[in-house]
């Protein structure tokens, strides 16, 4: 909406910034999200070593918050209010800087946030107003600063507003498309140059009228599209290397919906909570038997890098790569329906063409191709990020659109949001560096050590409910009830509880012996498929109202 292409995403220039403000992210556990960054702890500490500052805003004192210079607790779902307070302060106190970028709509933004003072936003986010104002001053005073927000601010009721505000804060402080601020990667295989950039809301889902993005619907629509009768009802499904029963809102409802399908095929190596419903499982070659070129993560890297990994092990006789399975399915479908199938080519050939056509390809001194990359088996560093956004904008007039109408229209929903209720509990998720996703629970070396499945709760919240550390508790939301062990933790903001993502493997038919032996329950048996971001239709996975009582 702002830059004209869905993959034209400015990345935190972590190696050159003097002030890094992190919201809803825990890169020490995720290894960076929309920020491909090896050894992130070393890089964060390098900011501090050169006299800079790292500030983390999170309802939990996460692993990243623990090494930061400053950590602010924030009410789950309150990030938009917090960011509005920051942006208002930047405008009101004259803390903005001019940008070299051509921008439309900044005055509309200034007018739209004129009433969103730090004092007005503080009750909604739980951060004292003076802390919001002082943080805005500190951020603006830094020679080079960057505001970085990730999954925690994405999967909430105002996730789109949050990411818009992150971009605006970088823009108005002069840190967008600037070294040490937020810069776009210039990858060797540039999907911004070679793809259309996606679409938004060209059509809507059948049941809840949720908007498409890039031809895909929010996963919150999946179960209802299977369960609701009528023309267009989904009766067959293909899944690819995924486990949506554990990773999507109201997973039990999706579990039921999958059971009722007429046909399901899964391209997967595991019989997990989702693929156990499949009529047919098509296992592809493993990662060690595949060539690999990372088209996606190179788009979000903190340096311009490229590498082509050849398969380590030979392809077993009779096995198929995943792309060969996809082509085979497409050929079978085309034959069955009488449709013409477009010509296909092996991925390596596509990568070679993309490299040759790219910034470092045939027209450059490097002349990158698969043949030249073979000389660099450990990859090739193509240099630091540099300003490039102005020439790559894909908007209709090649100017940054600071005030997209669909986003400004959502401010009325934000203004009408009821005030937070005191005394309740809000559920958030969490990740661990050895437990990013559910498949990692089926490997002994990743699950050994201290258990990580517990519900974390502040000791004061335990005491007020007559609960004890280590006890079994019943956690309830609108959609479900689970029982899990609770653990007291001063890392938690009072009024907030945290349950990790991807657990809950003890279901009939799951054939992951190590995973099924682990305790824990799925947090997505509590998340609500009806709680959505009003613009994107994305599910609210953080800030879920729950009650906790003795089991």
Domain tally for the chain?
Answer: 4
- Phi and psi based region of residue 375 (left: phi greater than 0; alpha: psi -120 to 50; beta: remaining): alpha
User: What is the reported pLDDT for 196?
Assistant: 86
**How many residues are there in the chain?**
551
- Phi and psi based region of residue 509 (left: phi greater than 0; alpha: psi -120 to 50; beta: remaining): left
Contact 502, 452 (CB under 8 A): no
Dist. CA 93–CA 389, nearest whole Å: 28
Domain that holds residue 210: 191-343
Domain-located, residue 405: yes
Contact 163, 152 (CB under 8 A): no
Domain-located, residue 391: no
User: What is the reported pLDDT for 46?
Assistant: 97
Domain-located, residue 386: no
User: What is the reported pLDDT for 179?
Assistant: 98
* 435 and 300 belong to one structural domain: no
Residue 345, C-beta contacts closer than 8 angstroms, at least 6 positions apart: none
* 224 and 339 belong to one structural domain: yes
Dist. CA 370–CA 356, nearest whole Å: 9
Domain-located, residue 102: yes
What are the per-10-residue average pLDDT scores of the chain (551 residues)? 95 97 93 87 97 98 97 97 98 97 97 97 97 98 97 94 98 98 97 90 96 95 97 97 94 96 97 97 95 94 96 96 96 94 92 96 96 95 97 96 97 92 91 82 89 94 96 97 97 96 91 92 95 95 96 94
Residue 309, C-beta contacts closer than 8 angstroms, at least 6 positions apart: 291, 292, 293
Output the DSSP codes for 40-59. Answer: HHHHHHHHHHTT-EEEEE-S
Dist. CA 487–CA 497, nearest whole Å: 10
* 153 and 24 belong to one structural domain: yes
Place of tokens 């403000």: 21
* 540 and 440 belong to one structural domain: yes
* 230 and 151 belong to one structural domain: no
Strand 145-149 relative to strand 425-428, pairing: unpaired
* 65 and 183 belong to one structural domain: yes
Contact 505, 515 (CB under 8 A): yes
Domain-located, residue 6: no
Domain-located, residue 499: yes
* 197-235 residues labelled b (16+ CB within 10 A) or e (exposed): eeeeeeeebbbbebbbbeeebbbbbbbbbbeeeeeeebe
Dist. CA 222–CA 285, nearest whole Å: 28
Residue 38, C-beta contacts closer than 8 angstroms, at least 6 positions apart: 31
* 19 and 95 belong to one structural domain: yes
Domain-located, residue 70: yes
Place of tokens 């900044």: 106
Q: Would the CA dihedral through 255, 256, 261, 263 be positive or negative?
A: positive
Q: Would the CA dihedral through 22, 23, 29, 30 be positive or negative?
A: negative
Dist. CA 153–CA 162, nearest whole Å: 6
* 64 and 181 belong to one structural domain: yes
* 161 and 207 belong to one structural domain: no
Q: What is the pTM of this model?
A: 0.95
* Angle (nearest 5°) at CA 452 between 449 and 457: 140
* 53 and 87 belong to one structural domain: yes
* 164 and 211 belong to one structural domain: no
Place of tokens 């909430």: 156
Dist. CA 386–CA 304, nearest whole Å: 9
- CATH code (residue 165): 3.40.228.10
* 309 and 456 belong to one structural domain: no
Look at residues 3, 175, 161 and name the one whose alpha carbon lies nearest to residue 99. 175
* Angle (nearest 5°) at CA 98 between 97 and 99: 120
User: What is the reported pLDDT for 12?
Assistant: 97
Query: Residue 339, Cβ neighbours under 10 Å: how many?
Result: 10
Output the DSSP codes for 463-483. Answer: HHTT--TT-EEEEE-SS-EEE
Domain-located, residue 385: no
* 53-88 residues labelled b (16+ CB within 10 A) or e (exposed): bbbbbbbbbbbbbeebeebbbbbbbbbbbbbbbbbb
| CA 138 and chain centroid, separation | 27
Per-residue tokens: 358: 């790219």
HSE-CB of 380 using CA atoms within 13 angstroms = 19
Q: What is the dihedral of CA 197, 198, 200, 204, to 10 degrees?
A: 170
- Residue 152 backbone phi and psi in degrees, to 5: -60, -30
Q: Would the CA dihedral through 103, 192, 28, 424 be positive or negative?
A: positive
Which residue, 343, 362, 389, sits at the end of a domain? 343
Place of tokens 């509590």: 526
Longest dimension (CA), the chain: 70
């Amino acid at each position: 909406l702002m830059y004209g292409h869905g993959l034209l995403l400015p990345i935190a220039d972590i190696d050159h910034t003097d002030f890094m403000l992190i919201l809803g992210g825990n890169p020490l556990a995720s290894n960076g999200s929309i920020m491909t960054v090896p050894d992130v702890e070393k890089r964060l500490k390098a900011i501090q070593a050169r006299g800079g500052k790292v500030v983390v805003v999170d309802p939990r004192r996460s692993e990243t918050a623990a090494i930061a210079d400053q950590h602010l607790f924030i009410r789950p779902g309150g990030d938009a209010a917090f960011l509005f307070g920051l942006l208002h302060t930047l405008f009101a106190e004259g803390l903005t800087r001019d940008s070299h970028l051509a921008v439309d709509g900044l005055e509309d933004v200034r007018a739209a946030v004129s009433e969103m003072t730090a004092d007005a936003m503080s009750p909604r986010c739980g951060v004292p107003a003076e802390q919001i104002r002082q943080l805005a001053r500190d951020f603006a005073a830094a020679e080079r600063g960057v505001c970085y927000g990730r999954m925690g601010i994405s999967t909430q009721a105002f996730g789109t507003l949050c990411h818009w505000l992150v971009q605006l804060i970088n823009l108005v402080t002069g840190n967008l498309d600037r070294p040490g601020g937020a810069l776009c990667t210039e990858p060797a295989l540039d999907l911004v140059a070679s793809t259309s950039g996606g679409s938004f809301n060209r059509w809507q889902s059948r049941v809840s009228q949720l908007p498409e993005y890039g031809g895909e619907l929010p996963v919150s629509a999946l179960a209802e599209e299977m369960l609701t009768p009528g023309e267009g009802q989904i009766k067959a499904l293909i899944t690819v290397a995924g486990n949506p029963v554990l990773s999507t809102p109201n997973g039990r409802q999706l579990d039921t919906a999958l059971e009722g399908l007429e046909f399901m095929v899964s391209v997967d190596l595991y019989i997990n909570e989702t693929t156990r419903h499949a009529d047919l499982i098509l296992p592809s070659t493993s990662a060690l038997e595949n060539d690999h070129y990372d088209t996606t993560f190179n788009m979000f890297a903190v340096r311009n890098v490229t590498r082509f990994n050849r398969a380590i092990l030979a392809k077993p006789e009779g096995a198929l790569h995943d792309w060969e399975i996809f082509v085979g399915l497409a050929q079978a479908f085309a034959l069955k329906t009488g449709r013409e199938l477009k010509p296909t080519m092996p991925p390596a050939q596509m990568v070679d063409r993309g490299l040759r056509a790219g910034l470092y390809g045939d027209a450059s001194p490097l002349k990158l191709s698969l043949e030249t990359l073979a000389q660099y088996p450990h990859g090739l560093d193509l240099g630091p990020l540099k300003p490039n956004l102005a020439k790559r904008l894909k908007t209709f007039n090649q100017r940054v659109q600071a005030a997209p109408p669909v986003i400004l229209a959502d401010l009325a929903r934000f203004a009408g949001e009821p005030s937070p209720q005191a005394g309740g509990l809000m559920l958030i998720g969490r990740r661990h560096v050895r437990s990013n996703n559910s498949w990692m629970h089926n490997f002994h070396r990743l699950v050994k050590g201290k258990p990580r499945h517990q519900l974390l709760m502040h000791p004061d919240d335990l005491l007020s409910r007559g609960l004890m550390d280590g006890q079994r508790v019943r956690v309830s939301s609108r959609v479900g009830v689970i029982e899990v062990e609770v653990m007291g933790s001063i890392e938690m903001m009072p009024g907030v509880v945290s349950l990790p993502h991807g657990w809950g493997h003890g279901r009939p038919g799951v054939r992951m012996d190590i995973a099924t032996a682990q305790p824990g329950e799925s947090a997505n048996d509590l998340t609500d498929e009806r709680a959505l971001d009003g613009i994107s239709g994305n599910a609210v996975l953080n800030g879920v109202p729950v009650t906790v009582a003795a089991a």
